[in-house]
Structure formats: structure tokens, C-alpha cells
Chain A
Amino acid sequence: MAEVHLPSTLAPLFPELPRRLELEAATVAEAIAQLDERWPGLKDRLCEPGPSLRRHINVYVDRERAGLDATLDESSRVDVIAAISGG
């Protein structure tokens, strides 16, 4: 099961969305799709049409910067980060 960590800005938008959860997915895109099934609209908060990751959303797989097509395995750690921006 991949371990997914979500940004603090996301949790308040979706009831009972945890900051950390585990799921089985082959890619980052599939992981986000699964999250969107459970919390409809979540994909739109992370991705632009295309889809591609939003400009200020970064994803790391096992601490390496990754895109939607990055592959996951049973032990992957996925960090979804809202980039430092604004003020």
C-alpha cells in the first residue's frame, strides 16, 4: 500500500479527509483518481484540465519530484505539497 500525505490546505475542503492515508495505486494519477472517487472534487483541487498538476502543487514519490505518470509500488511514499507561495 502506498502511503499518501496530503497538504493541510486540502483537508478542510472535504469532510473526513485525513492528512495521511494508504491506498493501492499504480501511478500518482491513479491515486488521485481514487481519492476523487471517495471525495468528489478533490482531483480539481490538485489538477488542471489535461490533466496536469496545478502550478503550485508539487508531488514527491519517495522524496523525488514526480508527475502524474510516476509509478508507485507497495512501499511508495507520496507527498503532495502545496508550494510555498503568496504572503
Chain B
Amino acid sequence: MPKTLLLIGTRKGLFLIEGEGRRDWTVRGPFCEGWPIYHAIHDPDSGTLYAAAASEWHGAGVWRSGDLGESWELSSEGLSYEDEDEGELKLSKVSGLTAAHGRLLAGAESVGIFESRDGGVAWSLLSTLEGEPGSESWNDPASQPPGHLGVPAILPDADDPTHFWAIVQGYGIFETIDDGGTWTPRNKGLRADWPLENPEVGYCVHKLVRSPVDPERFYQQNHVGMHRSDDGGRSWTEITEGLPTEFGFAAAAHPHDRDTFYVIPLDPGHGRCMPDGHASVWRTRDAGSAWERLDQGLPTRDAHLGVLREGMAIDADESAGLYFGTSTGQVFASIDEGESWDEIASYLPGISSVEVATV
């Protein structure tokens, strides 16, 4: 019987949570020698697990396991910029990972995208988005938010290996259709509550997801609002109304319904926790016209939980399963599309990412 595998990236290593029939969950870990893990993924083609890590002591790299976590190897071969000792670009961390079309892509800080075509053994620089609007300042520490991630996420096209989208933190979404050779900003219609020197960029996109059943349908949670695109990201419409706050990080698109989408609104101030200590996931079933609170089984009092941008995942089951992890180490699961929730891990380190796979 296939197992559901949750990959939980935390501040102190990677954890794996396994369940048969999406029940009877067991926790394994920590893996990756306790290195802080920003994001971890499962490559369905090779079955390999990958975890993007950055150690305060030993630098950044990507861990890999070909045996579902039994053994791990670390590589940072090629994960650096040319002439780092003299140039402006220095690789401080690897952030978002993507496996698609037989290769791996990794976002990095300074802003860059690296690829590996040998299963994560060696990496090479694919693009720095040089010359794109915003690139003149996005690697300047004075322009960066705390904990700058560079390129926190890369979203691949399902069919075309040369077509993908990248988020540059604090600047917005860029699309390439020639494998990073050229880029186009895709931020038209987004709101910014701050002055913009160039209206093409300057948007704080936290999470970008695409409907698996409609390639033209995208959703994004950003710093100021939820947004939807019906034209493949070329333009955006705000759909925040009905949510308790405009701020949040995590988001998930339903695997079978283009109009169903999940978010976790957070207080936008320094706290960045679920409002009023009431843990909730919010769902729209009509592409953002109306939102409903989902909290059955979640703590609804004194639960000041935060969930980061990679902190929620959704599986492809007929009755979609949702999973989210908190900055304080709890993991919650729903196997009925968010209607009800169970706490399946309670005492992990602070969680930065959750991904789900069937193995």
C-alpha cells in the first residue's frame, strides 16, 4: 500500500512523517545533521529526497537521499557565483527547490537560480536574472528584508522544461520561456502599499501556486493581499475581501478544482501569527469571491501560530489532503479537503517547509 510521506523542513534538520492511508502517522528524524532546512522536496521521477540547507558554520548546500531518508549526502559543488571573493554576488543560502523534467532547480541568495542534471551531485548557475528591472538593487543589503531569501521559489511548467516562473523576494514574479535566457516581469495588477520606482517590480510575493487542472489559473499570497490570475500570470486581480487579514505566507491550490484554493491569513505586524489566537485555514471554492474558515480540530483559543511560505502542502488524492506546519513545531493534517484537522506532530523544531509525496 502506498504511503504518504511528509517532508518537514525545520530550523534543526529535516523530519519525515509517514502514514499509511493518511493515518497512523509516525515521525522519523532529525536528518541532515540538524542543519537548518529551508525547503525539502521529493522527486517523483527518481524517488530521491532533497533538502536545501544553510548551516551557520559550514555554509549552504543541498542534501539528498536516494533511500527515503535512510542515508544522506551533502553537496555544494558548483553552488557559488564566479569570483565570489571579488564580485557582488555571494551565495549565502539555497532556498526553494524544484524537481521537474529530469533536473533540479534551486533558488539562491544572492539572487540566482542553479540547476543540477545529475541528481544533486553537482550544480551550475543557470541565471541571475541580470538586467531585469530591480536587479540593480536586489542584492544590495540595504534593500533587503531580514532573512533575505533571494529566489525563494521556482514554479515549473508541467510540459515545457524551458518554461518556469521565479519569485525574487521583494520584487515579484518573473517568467522565462527560454530556460532563463530572458525574463518577463509578471506583476501587472498587483497592489503595493509603498512607492514604486518602476511599476513592473517591487511586489512582495510570498507564495505562488498554479492550478494543476487549469494552467492559466494562478493564485498568490503576497504581502498585501490575495490575488488570482486567469491568464497564466500575465495579469492579477485581488481577491482579499472576506479574509480576516490581507497578509499571509502559505497557500495551496486544489488538485482537481481550479476554483478551490486555501490560504492561512496572519497578522501583518511583527507577530505574524494567526489572528486572535484562533487557528484557521481559509478556503474559497469560487476563485476568491467568498471565503470560509476551516477550523474543526484546530486550536481556536490561545493558538498564536505562524506558518511560513512553504509551510502548507496539498496532496492529489480524490479527497485532497492538506498539511501545514507551524513556526512552533506543530503539524496539522486534514484528509477531507480541510473540513477537519488532526495534530499529527506537536514538538518539532520551528517548521519552515512542508511537502507531501506518495511513496
Contacts and interface: CB of A to CB of B under 8 A. Distances in A.
B75 A9 contact: no
Contacts of A44: 59, 61, 76-77
B84 interface: yes
Contacts of A46: 58
Given A9-B33, A13-B33, A49-B80, A54 B85 contact: no
A50 B83 CA distance: 8
A85 interface: yes
Nearest to A81: B57
Given A12-B33, A50-B84, A41 B76 contact: yes
B54 to A, nearest CB: 12
Nearest to A55: B56
Contacts, number: 48
Given A49-B84, A49-B85, A50-B85, A7 B57 contact: yes
Contact of B58 (A9, A49, A51, A52): A9
Contacts of B55: 9
- Best-buried of A49, A52, A54 by chain B (most CB within 10 Å): A49
A86 B54 CA distance: 13
Interface in B65-109: 74-77, 80, 83-85, 90
A75 to B, nearest CB: 28
Given A48-B84, A50-B84, A41 B57 contact: no
Given A41-B76, A44-B76, A83 B85 contact: no
A49 B79 CA distance: 11
Interface in A1-51: 7, 9-10, 12-13, 41, 44-46, 48-51
Interface in B21-39: 33
Contact of A85 (B57, B75, B83): B57
- Best-buried of A44, A50, A56, A85 by chain B (most CB within 10 Å): A44
Contacts of B83: 49
A10 B58 contact: yes
Interface residues of B, number: 16
Contacts of A12: 33
Nearest to B58: A45
A68 interface: no
B77 to A, nearest CB: 7
Contacts of B84: 48-50
Interface in A44-71: 44-46, 48-52, 54, 56-57
Contacts of A57: 57-58
A7 to B, nearest CB: 7
Contacts of A49: 80, 83-85, 90
A57 B58 CA distance: 8
Given A48-B84, A52-B85, 20 more contacts: A7-B57, A9-B33, A9-B58, A12-B33, A13-B33, A13-B74, A41-B75, A41-B76, A44-B76, A45-B59, A48-B59, A48-B85, A49-B80, A49-B84, A49-B85, A51-B85, A54-B57, A56-B56, A57-B58, A85-B57
28 contacts: A7-B57, A9-B55, A9-B57, A9-B58, A10-B58, A12-B33, A13-B58, A13-B74, A41-B76, A44-B77, A45-B57, A45-B58, A48-B59, A48-B84, A48-B90, A49-B80, A49-B83, A49-B85, A52-B85, A54-B59, A56-B56, A57-B57, A57-B58, A82-B57, A82-B58, A83-B57, A85-B56, A86-B56
Query: Which 9 A-B pairs give the minimum distances between C-beta atoms?
Result: A49-B84, A50-B85, A45-B58, A82-B57, A56-B57, A12-B33, A49-B85, A85-B56, A44-B76
